[in-house]
Structure 1
Amino acid sequence: MSMSKTSKKLMLRLAFLVVPFVILTLVVLDSKSGGQTGGGAYDLSGLIYGLVLFAWIAVWMLWMLVACLISKTPPDRNMYLKLFLIGIVALVAAYFVTPQMF
């Protein structure tokens, strides 16, 4: 069973969101632990990593929106629109992951 070209594109572009989201989320959550690595709950490094997380998601969403607008085929447009909506979900999830920022 082989994957379609659209599915491969979807997985590749989704990886650009999922991998940094997981890494930065783990760093932000580690900063709350009070351990030697991350520091305290209101540590400046946690704020910076949280801002990097939001910035990365915003750039990724902009990339998906531009790709949706310039795509030529309807399946590609639908794929990029779904990825953009996944970005909105990731933005909301990032809001709940980094509560010390607000």
Structure 2
Amino acid sequence: MRPLIQQTLNSNNATLRWEILPHPAHSPDLAPSDFHLFGPLKLHLGGMAFETKGDLVGDLKNWFAPLDLDFFRVGIYSLLSHWKKCIDLHGNYVEE
């Protein structure tokens, strides 16, 4: 972790009561959006072509509209198992 970021996290820890978790280097895909949101969205958009930006925006609005809080909750809570797997495998968590 960069010194300034680490210093900021540590100085705010008492106030915000954050738990700083170890995070393996080069693992940005541990974000719930990467493994829970963009995968299904990529499947939805696969092979589609849009005439205008408005058509794309309309399609995205229609895709997102029925997603309820549980969809996003599952994504956040599944981060725990992804994170644990990554830590347990020392960053070598990508299945080949």
Give the TM-score normalised by structure 1: 0.28
**Which has more helix, going by share of residues?**
1
- Kindly name which structure, 1 or 2, has the bigger radius of gyration based on alpha carbons: 2
